[in-house]
Amino acid sequence: MKKWLRRVIAVLLLGGGALAAVAAWLWHDLQTNLDQPIVLHGNSELFTIERGSSLAGLASRLARAGWIKHAYYLRFEARRLGIGGRIQAGLYEIPDGATPRELLQKFVAGDVKTFTITFIEGATFREMLTVLARHPYLEQSLQELDTAGILARVAPGLDHPEGWFFPSTYRFSAGQSDADILRRAHAQLVEILDRSWIERRPDLPYAEPVDALIMASIIEKETGRADERALIAGVFVRRLEKGMKLQTDPTVIYGLGDAFDGNLRRTDLETDTPYNTYTRPGLPPTPIAMPGEAAIRAALNPAAGDALYFVGKGDGSHVFSRTLAEHNAAVRRYQLPGGRRDQ
């Protein structure tokens, strides 16, 4: 072999070796950086990927934030894995100590941060709207609408909102709307009411499921004790069957609306409204609050017994009585002097 050819081959071998060494170093640096935990100022940070964001733009943002050494490292890894076009938009929670490799996996999986919103049992529709309006990560789409407009959007065909949205905790991601939450709450209430109606005790004085929903809302406002819901339902059902007025304070309070100042007076009990069950027989025209599932089931499966009256003991529990005389004695014992009601 000629001397010049041997020299060319030697140079090529040396150059190839150098290129291989450089490639090996770059690969090691790439993998090291992809597995290097990021350091945040707190336990986590929120990071938004807008719709239409490119892989190059995302990689540049991570590099500017100091979360990866070079933007092209993330681009290379995403393209090597064939996932460059699968980055999903959304609001992400980045935990302290996460690696760029883990972030890439999170962005491809669409593992966005979720939030919760809770409606308590016994809340009114107005109170539910207030809770929705206060959440910073819900899209507000209902604030300019009146009640009819809201119902047309979230529960078409519904005339009155009270009672028709299930009180529970709902999970959602940023960008979902208040209307989305109400649609879910309404669908869940309808599903629970329909199932409970099928499983109801026979011969109850309800013409249709909404009657049970009205009763459940009264039970929800009368007691928070699980062991008393069916007992109170039994009292009200027996009063309906005997043609007695329900005479329940929560319906009166609901009928007073904004006029109620926290003190229920005898004049309030004597002032007729569609919701005054001291002046009107039967159930009020609509539910008065959002009942939970336990109250709905109690309304449809009331406890047997002969009590027709109950009065609060002041500790959240009640005394149940068969006769008016027994009830009046309980009122004198557990209510302050001047206790106002003989049901």
For 210-215, what is the mean pLDDT? 98
Distances in whole angstroms, Cα of residue 327 to Cα of each of 44, 219, 236, 265, 319:
59, 19, 15, 20, 8
**Confidence tier at 342 by pLDDT (50, 70, 90):** very low
Provide φ and ψ at 90, rounded to 5°: 150, 180
Domains in the chain: boundaries: 34-112, 118-169+176-193, 202-334
Per-residue model confidence (pLDDT) at position 5? 43
Please check the confidence at residue 163 and state whether its pLDDT lies above 60.
Answer: yes
For 7-26, what is the mean pLDDT? 58
More confident residue, 124 or 17: 124
Dihedral of alpha carbons 171, 287, 316, 296, sign: negative
Per-residue model confidence (pLDDT) at position 337? 57
More confident residue, 76 or 238: 238
CATH number of 34-112: 3.30.1490.480
Distances in whole angstroms, Cα of residue 279 to Cα of each of 130, 219, 242, 339:
32, 19, 16, 19
More confident residue, 213 or 334: 213
Please check the confidence at residue 281 and state whether its pLDDT lies above 80.
Answer: yes
Per-residue model confidence (pLDDT) at position 77? 86
More confident residue, 296 or 26: 296
Per-residue model confidence (pLDDT) at position 76? 87
**Confidence tier at 8 by pLDDT (50, 70, 90):** very low
pLDDT digits (tens, 9 = 90+) for 268-278: 999 999 999 99
**Confidence tier at 341 by pLDDT (50, 70, 90):** very low
More confident residue, 72 or 239: 239
For 317-324, what is the mean pLDDT? 94
For 152-166, what is the mean pLDDT? 96
Q: How big, in percent rounded to 5, are the helix, strand and coil portions of the chain?
A: 50, 10, 45
